Copies of this chain bind each other. A is one copy, B any other.
Amino acid sequence: MTAGFSFALEASDGAARTGLVSTPRGDIRTPAFMPVGTAGTVKAMLMSHVRETGADIVLGNTYHLMLRPTAERVAALGGLHAFMNWPRPILTDSGGFQVMSLSKLRKLTEDGVAFQSHIDGSRHMLTPERSVEIQCLLGSDIQMQLDECPAIPIAEDDARSSMLLSARWAERSKRAFEEKSASGQALFGIVQGANYEALRRESLDRLMEIGFPGYAVGGLAVGEGREEMFRVLEFTCPHMPAGKPRYLMGVGKPADIVGAVARGIDMFDCVAPTRSGRHGQAWTRQGPVNIKNARYADDPEPLDPDSACPASRDYAKAYLHHLFRAGEYLGPMLLTWHNLQYYQDLMASLRGAVREGRLGRFIADFKAETGESVV
């Protein structure tokens, strides 16, 4: 158990849970959605507004930060929290997923992955030890082990080899973390095994033997579709330790989140609200809005007149439409803000529903409002 880091389950409703992750930098109410702050900024947002939406924690991307401005520079400037003006918890990924999706000339070995930067072509080596070292330089509160994250579909043999490599990297990550981390920081292990039940079980068993204060489900939302993702969660979550937080990496759209909470997940991250916001897509309780659509050119109504969020409440859709048509900064700024508020409101509603034992009703209402079934 990591000193200063803890998880307390408060209530459950079926497989769904609500609770509190405590860290020296503040508490995280679960189920939690972590806005993505890739390069030390939640794109187009002030961190004070990110906080006002209700976010308890944000995510930083090790791959981007190690390349620019570099982890060493961030450390010299006082760490990622000071750098980006966010005193609350930060989770960083290991960098592995984005090395595989963004970098050039990757070479994967037992030791780690060698690659060239997509920014300037410089050569780097990311090992389990180096990933932990970088995350410690950044000063992140929740760190992730380096893993390999294959796409689905994948043959079972290949999926098992990959999962075993990730398990060996989990052990090396933990050793490095025990050497380098500060008090109160936590390292999470990542369950792999594609969509094979036996492999997910084996992965989880190996990780639990190593022992982590939290467990992530990795390797999902990689093209398998929502139903298949839910199926994997259904045969994985029940075996995860109830007393530790469970983090579903890179997920997702609102319906993905509602369905995953119903299956026992506690933490989420996704670029959907921020990226969609920059492209003029808004989530609302009346369904999705593509603000660039001509139908909004004369619409005097705001995205949500009842919201406490200025972006949702204080601007006519016609104005937002105009901002996107004119290519103004304020369009992405306001729609990102609105979407993050929508996500945090969704998480607050989910926590309330679980606490009060009415998640089934919540899911039925969600389907009635959005047309999306998550059972």
Contact = CB atoms under 8 A, between A and B. Distances in A.
A360 interface: no
A243 interface: no
A365 interface: no
A64 to B, nearest CB: 8
A45 interface: yes
A122 to B, nearest CB: 14
A310 B77 contact: no
A329 B333 contact: yes
Contact of A319 (B76, B84, B318): B84
Contact count band on A: 35 or more
B326 A68 contact: yes
Interface string A66-94: 00110001001110001111000000000
A64 B327 CA distance: 13
A330 B48 contact: no
Interface in A308-364: 310, 314-316, 318-319, 321-323, 325-326, 328-330, 332-333
A44 interface: yes
B298 A73 contact: yes
Instruction: Give 4 nearest A-B pairs by CB, closest first.
Output: A44-B329, A69-B322, A41-B330, A39-B326
Contact of A298 (B43, B77, B310, B315): B77
18 contacts: A40-B326, A41-B329, A41-B330, A43-B329, A44-B329, A44-B333, A46-B333, A68-B322, A69-B322, A73-B297, A73-B298, A73-B318, A77-B318, A83-B316, A83-B318, A85-B319, A329-B329, A329-B333
Give how many copies assemble into the complex.
Answer: 2
Contact of A77 (B39, B319, B329): B319
Contacts of A85: 314-315, 319
Interface string A292-310: 0000011010000000001
Given A41-B323, A43-B328, A298-B77, A318 B48 contact: no
A40 B322 contact: yes
A39 B325 CA distance: 11
Contacts of A326: 39-41, 64, 68
Nearest to A331: B41
Contacts of A329: 41, 43-44, 329, 332-333
A316 B45 contact: no
A268 to B, nearest CB: 23
Given A68-B326, A83-B319, 16 more contacts: A40-B319, A40-B323, A41-B329, A43-B328, A44-B333, A48-B310, A68-B325, A69-B318, A76-B298, A77-B298, A77-B300, A83-B322, A329-B329, A329-B332, A329-B333, A333-B333
